[in-house]
Structure 1
Amino acid sequence: MKADPARQSQLLDLQAIDTRLSQIDHARKTLSQHAEIADLEGKARLLDDQLVRSRTELGDVQRELAKADADVQQVRDRATRDQQRLDSGVGTAKDLTAIQHELESLGRRQAALEEVELEVMERAESIQNDVTELERGRAELTERLSTLESARDDRLAELDADAANVVAPRDRLVELVGEDLVTLYDKIRATSVTGAAPLRQRRCGGCQLELNPVELGRIKAAPADEVIRCDECRRILVRTPESGL
């Protein structure tokens, strides 16, 4: 392939742009906030699962408490009615004695039910405390995530602006270098990260290996417009005043 030295030299400018764009892309992908956010999101999912279980358990216990309350109230209402009948004195002595016995039985039943009610209330309070603590932790986690996401987005915006400034002259450089040379450059870059490298002090700026005398002699004898490539890494070698030829 032939390309005048100016076009070949501009390949290095194109490579500098692409290298910087790769660095910016790498910076985007490796932001510290990415790992921190992923870690917190994992913790948030665990907290959410715990919250679902605790809220479900709390709902069950609250229904159990409502039933216990209703059972106690039912016994209280029955005892109130019996006490009113007893106080009225209406009825035979046998009836009033039976009512008195029922009141004693209802008193024992109410005491037992109130113990059950108290135990359920204590469980409900304990679970409610768990739910409250989980909700507090989730709120703190949400706030930390929001702060990290804001910092991430700010940094990504900075990197996007940087990339926009860097890439601005690229299209013009591609036009100056020419489609044929850019096609070769892009093909090499797809597998070697960089597609072109300067030849300085007899070394390839890509693989950093020093060229042997035979290869140097071949390059020195090659026409200035001949596109040469490194025998080791196959990158396009751009001759410079410091090539050492």
Structure 2
Amino acid sequence: MERRESAQERVAELSGRVSSVQAKADDATARRDAAYEELDGESASVGKEREVVAGSVPADLMKLYEKLREQQGGVGAARLYQRRCEGCHIELNITELNEVRGAAPDAVVRCENCRRILVRTQESGL
């Protein structure tokens, strides 16, 4: 009888632990599902914004961008910041920088290393 009572107590204790762990797992699953929903909504919103912006980009430039994006793991253009391509993280040498500086503001310039389109901004100083 004593062993039986001890075993029943142990079963009750372990059942309580299982219930606690299951509650935590259910909570984590609910939080994960909520995060997925939020990400799906954000993705849809950003997708709509991208369509609007893409519509204002010349077709040949968009085609080049999409081709590079496919080749470069999803990133077809990268910011040029402080002499560094933020796509491949390699600093441009002085010759490359002079070519970028000498290019027309509307010219498409590309990184010599990774071939991504370089986005020149006010911050890049070029």
TM-score of the aligned structures, taking structure 1 as reference length: 0.40
Partner residue, 2:31: 151
- 2:93 partner letter: N
Larger radius of gyration: 1
* Residues 1-245 of structure 1: pairs in structure 2 closer than 5 A: 121-190=1-70, 191-222=72-103, 226-241=107-122, 243-245=124-126
- Call closer, same or farther: CA 1:219–1:132 in 2, change over 3 Å: closer
Unaligned runs of 5+ in 2: none
TM-score of the aligned structures, taking structure 2 as reference length: 0.70
Separation (CA, whole Å) in 2 of partners of 1:230 and 1:196: 9
Alignment: residue pair count: 125
Unaligned runs of 5+ in 1: 1-120
Residue 235 of structure 1 deviates from its aligned partner by 1.2
Residue 155 of structure 1 deviates from its aligned partner by 3.1
Identity of aligned residues (%): 45
Q: Which has the higher contact order (CA 8 A, sep 6+)?
A: 1
- Call closer, same or farther: CA 1:136–1:208 in 2, change over 3 Å: closer
Residue 140 of structure 1 deviates from its aligned partner by 1.8
- Call closer, same or farther: CA 1:163–1:145 in 2, change over 3 Å: same
RMSD across aligned positions (CA)? 3.1
- 1:154 partner letter: A
Residue 223 of structure 1 deviates from its aligned partner by 5.1
